[in-house]
Amino acid sequence: MATQPLSLLSGEEIKSLTLVENSVDENLYRASTYDLSIGEIIPAAPSSGGFEYKLPPGGTVRVVSKESLKLPNNITGHALLKNELCRKGILALNIGVIDPGFQGPISSTLINFGRGDFVVKQGASFLRISFHRCPPSPKADKSAQYDREQYISRVKDEVVAYMAPTFLNMDMTAKRAAKRAFGSFKKALALWAIVAGVLLALIAILAPLGASYVDKYVVAREQRELLLEQTVEKKLEERYETRLSALSAQVEELKRSTVDKSGCANATPGKRRATP
């Protein structure tokens, strides 16, 4: 199969090949790109509709191009977000390669990463499309082809089924996180309340018993000490009385022995001295 080098189409070639249908503004053709404009605004949050939508910080909205693309089997498209939106804090999702053979509008999800509201208006440019020649491929016949009404209906169904009003569904995520955190806190608080109640009940029951036991222990200890003191004193008295009795007996014995010796001395006759 003969190869054909890739080449970027100019704005004039894009227009002459009628790659963009429903184009009404010549200024949307650039030197080498085409600026897709917003045709349908499909918010995830309930809205009154209209030609514009106020996108809050962190909010998301789906937009569908007013134009439709009709690519032959040897041209591929590349969708890029406009720099002007990037400077204002707006990011576009679902952008990238558009296969050869594709037919239909282009949609994207816009997210506001800015600090204030951003007004999304119908007719405003939101994507830049560049077109490149490429070798024809039989797989191009399998590329998606939509009429406008069919495509918009599919996008609305996707928004209802999958899209959240805020990026990463922050509102619901915050509510779930708060519920989980406070739910755990409530459970822990209830558990600690039960434990505290049980402890207080035990204290109320055991405190009188402990006081009674302490009183009994102190009284018994004092009684034991008094009994011990009395026993010691009694033993000392008995020991001293026994010792005193023994000493008294010894003194009496000494007295008797002294008296007996004195009597014996007086009874012995002495020798008379001879008279000269």
Q: Greatest CA separation found in the chain?
A: 202
The average confidence (pLDDT) of the chain is 83
Instruction: Judge whether 21 and 69 are in contact, CB under 8 Å.
Output: yes
Asked if the model's pLDDT at residue 273 lies above 70, the reply is no
Q: Which two tokens stand for residue 162?
A: 């999958």
Whether 221 has a pLDDT exceeding 90, the answer reads no
Q: Is the pLDDT of residue 209 over 90?
A: no
The DSSP symbol for 26 reads G
Tokens of 63: 């937009």
CATH class given for the domain over 7-165: mainly beta
Report residue 180's pLDDT band, with 50, 70 and 90 as the boundaries.
low
Element (H, E) at 200: helix 170-267
Residue 269 CA to residue 119 CA, distance in Å, equals 162
Domain boundaries, the chain: 7-165, 169-258
- pLDDT of 141 reads 92
pLDDT recorded at residue 264: 60
pLDDT band (50, 70, 90) for residue 256: confident
- Reported as a single tens digit per residue, the pLDDT across 95-142 is 899 999 999 999 999 999 999 999 999 999 999 999 999 999 899 999
**pLDDT of residue 274 exceeding 50:** no
Please say whether the dihedral angle defined by the alpha carbons of residues 211, 215, 216 and 221, taken in this order, is positive or negative.
positive
